Structure 1
């Protein structure tokens, strides 16, 4: 149906809630989560190459796909009519056209799970206006379609009721020329206004606070803002960060800051190294504890180790960003894309 370009849409109420989350949810609804989680613990709890590398292979394939999408010669059109989280962002935001609707819910909630916004998210988060990317990545806040459009995460906004007509029109486009595809989408897109309560309307506070050099300084800055005026948005922002894994927050901030000087390929390579270190549980088991607290037992009371930001050693954070010391480990090697990666920079 769509030969000249790639076309992606969800099946149901979500575009994609993320590969890992979907697998977990299915296990929960089928009553097999304890077996699933026990298998994960057995698979990843040691550093032997026959165990943790099996999990790493999943991320290797996922990040390779993200890179291919980001550098593919044919434009990709993604209809984000519903939930777009985690891995769902990886298979859509890296494409050229991202169409949001009034039903869109976007988030990168990984810090609350003891992980970090991966799938090359550091690349597109670091290129959002001001320090909005740091805010989105550190807090895991949810954005609606209008906020995605305003920040640049989405390229168009189309009402859900017009999606069928849009799809029919796109099916008649027989060229991969992005200008022709854009012109087709423009016929159905519309200008939308942010809600009065939108976090994007708080860019003055976001830029002031989230521009600080450390996570600790960001929180202190937010707390100072809260002292001068009672603001539920500021208080919820502080609370979301204090609930997150301290080491995940530090990894996330560094990842986004470094991504400002990197291409999408380097960002994905860094993501792979980070994931491998996390799966090896070299410095922290927060990812597994986060899964237990949020997705398994659902007590929403993870016991992070270290439990405080001032207990996170910067040298430990440094180790997450270097190659894994294991004879059987291999760094992420992305396919040659004939310099197309350089063109991706202009898509955001």
Structure 2
């Protein structure tokens, strides 16, 4: 008896189709900037499963139907409300299925191409960064706003992002994990978090070409995409935020980032920044301290440790991320952070540990204690 073919999952927020030997995943939840809901996660995973061994599909292209965002993250309100009502099972299900999807992309046997226009944050990184490991491409544009901003709401850079941040040049990954800073296309290429650049105005023509060109194999698909894209990004305007000075590029601040964020813990990073005296660097250091003072101290310490522990396989990183979601709800700041930043929007979170200097090593270590044994872990079957 032949094995039944995997079936696609119906979901209005994700459109999946095969056209011209390309599997297209189109995110379509504009009111939430394509933030991932559980039905979206399931629809994407089902499509990837259906296409994995299908010889009619040469490659996968993930993109947004709307210019403002590729994907702004996971559905924060969903797991916040689950946490508020104590629905641990619902919360675990969301993160377990999201991380399983991220792993499926990371280990996919066909090129996965992510068109990362607009906002690409949190869970959006989870469904795009793995493209690099498939032989595919992570393509940014002039509108790309990329970040793992989780410390702002008391979370940490999850979705396996720690694995990629740990492999950025110097201390860039540690800097991005702790501060949650937003970077543009040029920064993403410099940090190794993107592979190519394409103006948003050219995306429709690329999609049309992919749907009509003749492809003999996956190499032809990649050649088609690379024919539209560039390996460098043009210089873009860098406005400041909230009336502050112009944002500097990662390349321009790389020496300073390496100097300060190579320190062993968050307290040492702040002390190093406070001691900065070099002209230009001092102003940058003071602004960085201001940003860090607004973040959850415990989450920043955990985030630094997430990057430090990410030397192993992605499967280990994702299992650890799931462990941390339990800890961050039980002992961390996520519920308060989401309340203050997203629900009530008073922007005045009361963090469990108020000062960076008061976070102890023991408290950080305790956050990494798993709620499961290796044999019962929901992600125990992930490999690689």
Q: TM bucket by the smaller chain?
A: 0.7 to 0.9
Match of 1:152 among 184, 192, 196: 192
How far apart, CA to CA, are the structure 2 residues paired with 1:265 and 1:325?
15
Conservation of the 8 A alpha-carbon contact between 1:122 and 1:256: yes
Partner of 2:324: 274
How far apart, CA to CA, are the structure 2 residues paired with 1:38 and 1:81?
29
1:309 paired to 2:356: yes
Q: Once the 2 structures are TM-superposed, how far is the Cα of residue 42 of structure 1 from its aligned partner? A: 1.5
Find the residue that maps to 1:322 and give its secondary structure: coil
What are the Cα deviations for residues 175-234 of structure 1, in whole angstroms up to 9, with x where unaligned? Answer: 553x43332222112332455831332100011111111111111111222575575433
1:17 paired to 2:72: yes
Relative distance call for 1:202 and 1:193 in structure 2 (3 A) is: farther
What are the Cα deviations for residues 120-139 of structure 1, in whole angstroms up to 9, with x where unaligned? Answer: 01000111111111111111
Relative distance call for 1:203 and 1:139 in structure 2 (3 A) is: same
Superposed, 1:1-348 pairs within 5 Å as: 1=19, 2=22, 3-12=57-66, 13-21=68-76, 23=77, 40-43=83-86, 51-96=87-132, 97-171=137-211, 172=213, 174-175=215-216, 177=218, 179-190=219-230, 191-194=232-235, 197-226=248-277, 229=280, 231-259=282-310, 261-279=311-329, 281=330, 283-284=331-332, 286-324=333-371, 330-335=377-382, 341=384
Relative distance call for 1:185 and 1:325 in structure 2 (3 A) is: closer
How many residues align? The count is: 313
Find the residue that maps to 2:85 and give its secondary structure: helix
For structure 2, the residue ranges without an aligned partner over 5 or more in a row are 1-18, 23-56, 239-247
CA-atom RMSD, angstroms? 2.4
Find the residue that maps to 2:276 and give its secondary structure: helix
How far apart, CA to CA, are the structure 1 residues paired with 2:234 and 2:81?
47
How far apart, CA to CA, are the structure 1 residues paired with 2:149 and 2:216?
37
How far apart, CA to CA, are the structure 1 residues paired with 2:224 and 2:372?
50
For structure 1, the residue ranges without an aligned partner over 5 or more in a row are 25-35, 44-50, 342-348
Q: Once the 2 structures are TM-superposed, how far is the Cα of residue 39 of structure 1 from its aligned partner? A: 5.9
Relative distance call for 1:180 and 1:223 in structure 2 (3 A) is: farther
Structure with more of its chain in helix, by fraction: 1
How far apart, CA to CA, are the structure 2 residues paired with 1:332 and 1:293?
31
Conservation of the 8 A alpha-carbon contact between 1:67 and 1:334: no
